[in-house]
Amino acid sequence: MWQRQPTVHLDKSLLIARGGVRDVYQHPHHDDRCIKIVHNPKRLRSVKRETRYLLRYERQGKPFERLTRFHGWCKTTLGSGGVFDLIRDHDGRCAQTLLSHVGGQVDPGLSPGEIVEQLTALYHHLLEHEIIVSDPALHNLVVHYPLPGRPRLVIIDGVGNSNFIKIADYRKHCAHQLIKKKWRRYIEVSPLLVEVFQATGYNPLA
């Protein structure tokens, strides 16, 4: 799924974030899109898996208010890149990661109670729509404010089924089991959320 257009010029001034696998750049021609460039070729397989699942979920008509759409590949001055939605809040600023909120790096940030509320809402959304996420870690979730005072979590990375046998793609019960397994690993037993859960009295393992 390549976009037929001239090579897109990217430079350091457009860099938004650098992850363990990809660098994220503001798309110079679309304010609401970003371009992700792989800098860790060993993880290229997981990147391609994510794009396949995003396209699959779009074809299936799954809701995308908590996902980012994949708009295809493009040629850039830094190599091939994937074009995705760039999540911006109602005021035009880029949405901040949940990790930043938990770490107190956002002002004003979500309270512990709001964090638990948003995580619970996302969890039930994934189960309801059978959306499988291989890595729902805090840095892969952003807190989006489409309206003032109305936050919701959006998954910006790690979508898809990483299991070799893809039975969860076709059976609801298996999909739910896999979603719960990943949620427990990355959220319920996350050391980063211990203080949040303690502050709210929330017991994720109850």
Per-residue model confidence as pLDDT tens digits over 95-144:
999 999 999 999 889 999 999 999 999 999 999 999 999 999 999 999 99
- Mean pLDDT rounded to a whole number for the chain: 94
Q: What sign for the dihedral angle of Cα 14, 11, 140, 171?
A: positive
Mind giving me the DSSP string for 48-106? Answer: HHHHHHHHHHHHTT---TTS--EEEEEEEBTEEEEEEE--B-TTSPBPEEHHHHHTT-S
Q: Which residues make Cβ contacts (< 8 Å) with residue 75, sequence separation at least 6?
A: 2, 7, 8, 81
Q: Work out the average pLDDT over 78-104.
A: 96
pLDDT above 80 for 60: yes
User: What is the rounded CA–CA span in Å between residue 36 and residue 22?
Assistant: 6
Task: State what percent of residues in the chain have pLDDT above 90.
Answer: 88
pLDDT above 70 for 2: no
pLDDT above 80 for 22: yes
Q: What sign for the dihedral angle of Cα 104, 109, 111, 116?
A: negative
Per-residue pLDDT band at 1 (split at 50, 70, 90): low
Mind giving me the DSSP string for 127-193? Answer: HHHT--BS---GGGEEEEEEETTEEEEEE-S-BS---SS-GGGT-HHHHHHHHHHHHIIIIIT-GGG
Q: What is the pLDDT of residue 160?
A: 97
Per-residue model confidence as pLDDT tens digits over 151-186:
999 999 999 999 999 999 999 999 999 999 999 999
Give the predicted TM-score (pTM) of the model.
Answer: 0.93
- Lookup: tokens for 133: 């996420």
- CA-based R_g, the chain, Å: 17
